[in-house]
A and B are shown apart, each in its own frame.
Chain A
Amino acid sequence: ETGVTQSPTHLIKTRGQQVTLRCSSQSGHNTVSWYQQALGQGPQFIFQYYREEENGRGNFPPRFSGLQFPNYSSELNVNALELDDSALYLCASSPPWGNTGELFFGEGSRLTVL
């Protein structure tokens, strides 16, 4: 069983640029959630995708957007990057059975904005 995989693992951007982060969910999982973890902080919920639709959003501006594809993989896009966007971005998938809230996390994409 393949776990959650994210790419790239590290990247450096400059302020004002745009970035796309990718996530492949664990086999059989149809829901993908994205979290931002700033240095020294706990993860913060950005948004969740279910059946290719956004299913809930945290307190993040519209320049954070996402997609989910028919194979349940997902992308996180951030436009007009700001210095405070520097963080570890975590993708997590969850299975369609039960309602346990359990998330299966990838190892993250570490974004540095200069």
Chain B
Amino acid sequence: AQSVTQLDSQVPVFEEAPVELRCNYSSSVSVYLFWYVQYPNQGLQLLLKYLSGSTLVKGINGFEAEFNKSQTSFHLRKPSVHISDTAEYFCAAGNAGGTSYGKLTFGQGTILTVHP
């Protein structure tokens, strides 16, 4: 069984400031990890993913995340946010390998609000 915990339900930040959205996971098997973004009244859009290899992954819109196996974390970062980054962000985990792809466990979401 897997679980994903997003440690902050809301993160307010000023424009051009850095931001970190925190995500911890637990799993008894190897996992793939994802960050998705959801704008109001829309579906989810993939920001980035970790499958294997380099623990620092870069995604769209200037976001990056670091996989830390020892701390079971996958925190999302952006060095300078824009107003347009205001949205809800979801961390998700899926079992690596087998036929489990497509069956993701999502966290509760973090609402990022960027203030001018």
Contact = CB atoms under 8 A, between A and B. Distances in A.
Interface size class of A (residues with CB under 8 A): 20 to 34
B103 interface: yes
Q: Which of B43, B97, B103, B105 has the most CB of A within 10 A?
A: B43
Interface size class of B (residues with CB under 8 A): 20 to 34
Contact of A33 (B36, B102, B108): B102
B41 A92 contact: no
Given A42-B90, A43-B44, A108-B43, A103 B102 contact: yes
Interface of B: 4, 6, 32, 34, 36, 41-46, 49, 51, 90, 92, 94, 96-97, 99-109
Interface of A: 4, 31, 33, 35, 40-45, 48, 50, 55-56, 58, 90, 92, 94, 99-108
23 contacts: A31-B102, A33-B102, A41-B109, A42-B108, A43-B44, A43-B104, A44-B106, A48-B103, A50-B99, A56-B99, A90-B43, A94-B101, A94-B102, A101-B32, A101-B34, A101-B96, A101-B101, A101-B102, A102-B46, A102-B49, A105-B43, A106-B43, A107-B42
